[in-house]
Structure 1
Amino acid sequence: MPTTAKSTTLQIATLCLALTLPTAMLSAQPAGYNYDEAKVPAYTLPDPLVMADGTPVTSADQWPKRRAEIMDLFLQEVYGKAPGKPEGLHFKVIEQSDDAINGKATRKQVRVFFDADETVAMDILIYLPKKLVDAKQPVPTFLTLNFFGNHSISDDPAIVLSESWMRSSKEKGVVDNRATEASRGASASRWPVESIIDRGYGLAAIYYGDIDPDFDDGFKNGVHALYDPPAKDGWGSIATWAWGLSRAMDYLETDSEIDAKRVAVFGHSRLGKTSLWAGATDPRFSITISNDSGCGGAALSRRAFGETVARINTSFPHWFCDNYTKYNDNEGACPVDQHQLVALIAPRSVYIASAEEDTWADPRGEFLSAVHAAPVYQLLGTDGIGGETEMPPINKPIMHTLGYHVRTGKHTVTDFDWNSYMDFADQRWVK
């Protein structure tokens, strides 16, 4: 893969056809969408290393100006602009224990209030390895959002049962958009809390619906209730959830038991889109992890493979800013693409993960974002993705400053994913 500024603007078709995937990756998905590599349209990616006026970026000193140009385009055209840290932000520990997870962990539940009047808040559930806390060693921590409440990630009966709106699900014990006791531990298969503790890491989890309930209501609920309705370039829900992760980071920086210099932000699916935007907008996150994030996340939009910009804006009109609808069935007109989102995080570490059967999320497009972000990482003195240009074998992670794997299975989070993320953290953080 060429690494010069000029060479990153290129016709991608030749490279794409060289990156063949196993037949299993062409599994059935929603009809009417493209899953055939031969039908991927020819496209040219906007070059992260060419200024808006055409000037090539050839030194690290030039990158901050180019980065600002790219960031402004994402703010204006894709995710939308969020407010800063609210003046009324404050925190309260609402529960804690030094005897959790079979005595291996401490548990703390922190309520983050977004306003002085305490009208809108989110809860952070924090597990830390007890042996590190007792030794007064600040703990490197994974900060995550979840889909069905903090109580769903573990059957620990002490976790506060969420009272926030959530999508009804018999499987998850959610009735009439509210959690029930049957919700406890309903998503535990995605959250190997004990394994994370055993590896010497902390876990800080937040229900994303505390920040902004995931339905289109014209931005009247959640934290949006504290602000004026967003303009066409105002924060959509993904930017709002990312804003909430930054507010969580505000808390983590105050907690002496957590190593705030070693916090990895992690998300799956729409929350993987969120983690990437959080990593791009908040330099305090040391590692950014995207699990099966697809369209609007790690996957290149111009490939129009699987889920498309038009589909995502139609099905979830609240996720992105209103300006993003200009690129429905018109991806080539968008001034940015997702490799530039990954590049915004440089030189900090990013891990992108795909699933073999998750063609809706376009695994190849996710990998290509890392490939085409790599020249920025190399310009800034890192090893990028190690010069890789071909997707790795199934279940064989690539681990450089940019990490990537495609594993067996479907659109979910598995122990393989988590073990890979912890291996990556071991390598990047060197505990």
Structure 2
Amino acid sequence: VRSASDWKRRRQEILELFQANVFGRSPKSKHARFEVFDTDKTALGGRAVRKQVTIYFSAKKDGPKADLLIYLPAGASKPVPMFLTMNFWGNQSVINDPGIRLPTLWDPKTHVRQQASEDSRGRDTEFDVEKILARGYGFATICYQNIEPDFKGGFVGGIRPLFFTRGQSEPAREDWGAIGAWSYGLSRAMDYLVKDKDVDSQRVAIMGHSRLGKTALWAGAMDTRFAMVISSCSGEGGASLYRRNYGETIANLVGAFPYWFSTSLQEFADHTDRLPVDAHELIALIAPRPVYITGGEDDRWADPKGEFLACVAAGPVFRLQGAQDLGTDEMPALNQPIMHTLAFHVHTGKHAVTAFDWDQFLTFADMHLRR
């Protein structure tokens, strides 16, 4: 590969290899339907406009659906750039706002659906919604459980059966896994944002943490409408090099969470060296769009060094397309971000999204999404 046109061809080949061997083949999208059921122009004490939108993934009203929560800075005079995220515990968990509809969620231990409680409001400290709004960005989030419940066999309560062929009851060998389904959910949320005149759909960044960091990377690779991809502590199956075999491994992943991926990945559990792709190629699939990868100092399971090495190895594809890579092959010190088109840092502490992280994400967005 010696030119941008060579890469365009090679990119399709690598995308095909990831679909065949890692994440599975995502089907063509079914037409989603959107119902705006809430608009509050005085949300968060007058600092935001809140919208809530139900996304119906099929023509059936009682079929799979998910609520998309949107906040826009109050008084915005033009369409705003957005951060689109997935959350773990329901939209009500991201901020203590009594106007957010309480969802029905799957319990990963009992596999039973139950109504979220009032005391779950604002329990998730992963998102600094107020800071995002104060910097002039909108914020949107959707709960991944409403796309597909996160447990073995959970696919029956999610969107994947919508795409089964007649008589099919289980995913086939190269069918998409849960990460593919969650990525599909992000793309359907993007379908709505494209229609919303208050949103600048050319400037939507997706952000995810841990398994949802893997999801953000795959969604960014599959859907080029996302202008920026931010992946926090995504580890193995995400931004960390698969063949490094440090911390979590492919064998660990397919042993504990086989349903996240295509069944075909299980064939490489003890033969990672035979995988035809690695994490640096997943990052490269997003180039030349801006990508930010982060890790935690104490999060050896997710292997921050492996994530850094993957960023370095993805660099030539960014350069080939006129974008800036990290510009170094030396691991940066703690809390010392490297920011070009490709960005990386390791924060002090554990497997988490921190206030320091959000400060860097917003600075990165200012570099690439401001007009």
Structure 2 residue matching 1:296: 3-state secondary structure:
coil
Q: 1:308 aligns with which of 221, 243, 249?
A: 249
Cα–Cα, structure 1 residues 207 and 268, in superposed 2: closer, same or farther, change >3 Å?
same
Equivalent position amino acid for 2:155 in 1: F
Equivalent position amino acid for 2:68 in 1: I
Q: Summarize deviations over 1:372-415 as a string: whole Å, max 9, x none.
A: 00001101111122x21011111011000000010101011111
| 1:100 aligns to 2:61 (yes or no) | no
Alignment of 1:178-217 (within 5 A): 178-187=115-124, 189-217=125-153
Residue number in structure 2 paired with 1:411: 351
| 1:70 aligns to 2:14 (yes or no) | yes
Q: Summarize deviations over 1:181-224 as a string: whole Å, max 9, x none.
A: 2211111x222111110000111000000100101117322112
Q: Which sections of structure 1, spanning at least 5 residues, go unmatched? A: 1-56
Alignment of 1:221-240 (within 5 A): 221-228=157-164, 229-240=170-181
Residue number in structure 1 paired with 2:217: 276
Residue number in structure 2 paired with 1:150: 91
Q: CA deviation at 1:167?
A: 3.3
- How far apart, in 1, do the equivalents of 2:19 and 2:154 lie? 19
- How far apart, in 1, do the equivalents of 2:151 and 2:317 lie? 36
Residue number in structure 1 paired with 2:332: 392
Q: CA deviation at 1:166?
A: 3.6
Structure 1 residue matching 2:273: 3-state secondary structure:
helix
- How far apart, in 2, do the equivalents of 1:168 and 1:314 lie? 17
Larger radius of gyration: 1
Q: 1:246 aligns with which of 187, 210, 213?
A: 187
- How far apart, in 2, do the equivalents of 1:373 and 1:166 lie? 38
Q: 1:114 aligns with which of 38, 45, 57?
A: 57
Structure 2 residue matching 1:142: 3-state secondary structure:
strand
Asked if 2 retains the 8 angstrom alpha-carbon contact of 1:168 and 1:178, the reply is no
Cα–Cα, structure 1 residues 93 and 243, in superposed 2: closer, same or farther, change >3 Å?
same
Q: Summarize deviations over 1:237-288 as a string: whole Å, max 9, x none.
A: 0011001100111110000000100000100000000000000000000000
Cα–Cα, structure 1 residues 272 and 176, in superposed 2: closer, same or farther, change >3 Å?
same
Asked if 2 retains the 8 angstrom alpha-carbon contact of 1:92 and 1:112, the reply is yes
265-274 or 228-237: which moved more?
A: 228-237
Q: Summarize deviations over 1:354-389 as a string: whole Å, max 9, x none.
A: 11010000000001111000001101111122x210
Q: CA deviation at 1:176?
A: 7.4
Aligned residues: 365
**Identity between Structure 1 and Structure 2 (%):** 49
- Structure 2 length normalisation: TM-score? 0.96
Asked if 2 retains the 8 angstrom alpha-carbon contact of 1:166 and 1:177, the reply is yes
Q: Which sections of structure 2, spanning at least 5 residues, go unmatched? A: 165-169
Structure 1 residue matching 2:203: 3-state secondary structure:
strand
- How far apart, in 2, do the equivalents of 1:178 and 1:126 lie? 21
C-alpha RMSD of matched pairs (Å): 1.5
- How far apart, in 1, do the equivalents of 2:211 and 2:115 lie? 21
Equivalent position amino acid for 2:47 in 1: K
- How far apart, in 1, do the equivalents of 2:115 and 2:313 lie? 42
- How far apart, in 2, do the equivalents of 1:61 and 1:414 lie? 39
- How far apart, in 2, do the equivalents of 1:218 and 1:151 lie? 22
Cα–Cα, structure 1 residues 175 and 193, in superposed 2: closer, same or farther, change >3 Å?
farther
Q: 1:356 aligns with which of 279, 297, 304?
A: 297
- How far apart, in 2, do the equivalents of 1:207 and 1:176 lie? 14
Residue number in structure 2 paired with 1:5: none
- How far apart, in 1, do the equivalents of 2:156 and 2:282 lie? 28
- How far apart, in 2, do the equivalents of 1:245 and 1:130 lie? 24
Alignment of 1:48-63 (within 5 A): 57-63=1-7
- Structure 1 length normalisation: TM-score? 0.83
Q: 1:373 aligns with which of 307, 314, 317?
A: 314
Q: Summarize deviations over 1:325-381 as a string: whole Å, max 9, x none.
A: 111021110000000000001111100001101000000000111100000110111
189-198 or 397-406: which moved more?
A: 189-198
Asked if 2 retains the 8 angstrom alpha-carbon contact of 1:298 and 1:338, the reply is yes
Equivalent position amino acid for 1:109 in 2: Q
Asked if 2 retains the 8 angstrom alpha-carbon contact of 1:151 and 1:161, the reply is yes
